[in-house]
Every structure is written in structure tokens, then in C-alpha cells.
Chain A
Amino acid sequence: MKTNDVILQTATKVVFFIIFLFSIHIFFAGHFTPGGGFVGGLLTTGAIVLLLLAFDLKTVQNALPFNFMIVTAIGLLLALGTAASSLLFNIPFFTHAFDDVYLPLFGVSALHTAMAFDAGVYLVVVGSTITMIQTIGGDS
């Protein structure tokens, strides 16, 4: 079946980045306003699913040449590492630390180790959902 989906493809190229940027925003805003690693990760997944709908599996795989299993693994390691890093300072597992730090361009920002943990969550969510979708989609 041959369909003409030029409009969908063109729109997707724009919309993908909007959703993706929004997901990044939601991820970073998560600590103070609704959002966080789960929602951010799922939104990113949604964006990629949109790409998959508009184009085919091969094109998306070429455009995003990651092995998403490895993304999952990195995410898990990041989360576990953040949780375990407190052990180095002889404080109980999973104790988070935070401080206000001056960063160039951003000004005074609150930095929080929970953010790193949340990034781990984000990566695992993206990695495993995309793995599932890619493998199911690729099953002939």
C-alpha cells in the first residue's frame, strides 16, 4: 500500500523537536513543577513514536543511531551510582545532596544530586520503551 504522507512527514520534522524540547523542559522542571524523569522520558518516547509513524523503522534507526538497550544500562548505572555515591562520604545509601551554585550563563542555580538520579530514570524509561517498540515493530 502506497500512501502519500508528505504532510505528515513535514509536520513531524517540526513537531518532533517541539515535543522533544518540551520533554527536556519538563524533565528539568520536575523538581519544582509537574514533570520529572518519568514524564520527560515518556514524552521523548512519544516524540520518537511519532517519528516512527511518519517514517519507517530503518530511517529512524539511521537518524537515531543508538542502541537503546545500552541507553537503558547507562540509565540504570547512573541511578545506582548516584544512590551509591553517598556511601563514599560515609552517609547512608540514597542520601541526596544539594547546593546553590553560580554557573556561567545560568546565574545562581540550585544543583541537586536528585537530578542525576532523575536523569537515570529518564534514560531507563526512554531506553526500555524504545527497545520494546523497536523490537515489536521490527518483528516480521
Chain B
Amino acid sequence: MEFVMAIIIGILFMAAVYLILSRSLLRIILGTGLLSHGAHLLILTMGGLGGTSPPVLADGVTDYADPLPQALILTAIVISFGVTAFMLVLFYRTYGEHKTDNMSLMKGNDEHD
């Protein structure tokens, strides 16, 4: 199953990078969303997908799933929500100020560097 997961992660990263490189601001936001999903699954897969029961103590169970990646992902999920929300607002505020979402038009001009 790890093999399948690795391919899925690859596809997620690929789609994310493709979107991030595009000229439309909204696609960039979508791309970062996909990127964080890919990263979460990557962490999960790195730790291994074995384990027959969730990492919650129960009598007679010894084969728990790896709890550490799960804890890391849990924080990552919430952070990525915060980042997405922040970027979303940053994006539509930029759009509101500059009346464009074309990334190729958004560059610092020579007087401002």
C-alpha cells in the first residue's frame, strides 16, 4: 500500500507545484492547499502504514499505529488551515487593491527596489 501512497503523494505534489507556478492567484492558493495535503500524507507514509488499531490504549492490544506522525500531522492540519485563510485574505486584498490577479503583472517596479 505504501507504493500506492507514494504515487498519490507524488501526484498531489505535482498538481500542487503545477498550480503554484501558474499565473492566477487563486490557483496558487489551491496549489498550497494540495501541497499541505501531500505533505500530511507524506509524513504518514514515512512512519509506515502498519498497525492494526488506533493509537489509543486498549486492553490486549499491542500493535498500535505509529502515534508520532499522527501528532505531527494534527498540528500541521491546523496550521495549514491558518495559512490558507491568511493567504486567501492576502490574495483577495491584493486583488482588491491592484484589480488584477495576474501574477506576471505583479512585480516590484524599478523605483521601489
Contacts and interface: CB of A to CB of B under 8 A. Distances in A.
Interface of A: 32-34, 38, 42, 125, 128-129, 132, 135-136
Interface of B: 54, 56-57, 74, 78, 81-82, 85, 88-89
A34 B74 CA distance: 12
B56 A34 contact: yes
5 contacts: A34-B54, A42-B78, A132-B82, A132-B89, A135-B89
A128 B56 contact: no
B84 to A, nearest CB: 10
Contacts, number: 19
A135 B89 CA distance: 10
A97 B82 CA distance: 31
A38 B78 contact: yes
Contacts of B56: 32-34
Decide if the interface of chain A is mainly helix, strand, loop or mixed.
helix
A32 B57 contact: yes
B110 to A, nearest CB: 33
Contact of B81 (A34, A129, A136): A129
Contacts of B54: 34
Given A34-B54, A129-B81, 7 more contacts: A32-B57, A33-B56, A34-B56, A38-B78, A42-B78, A129-B85, A132-B82
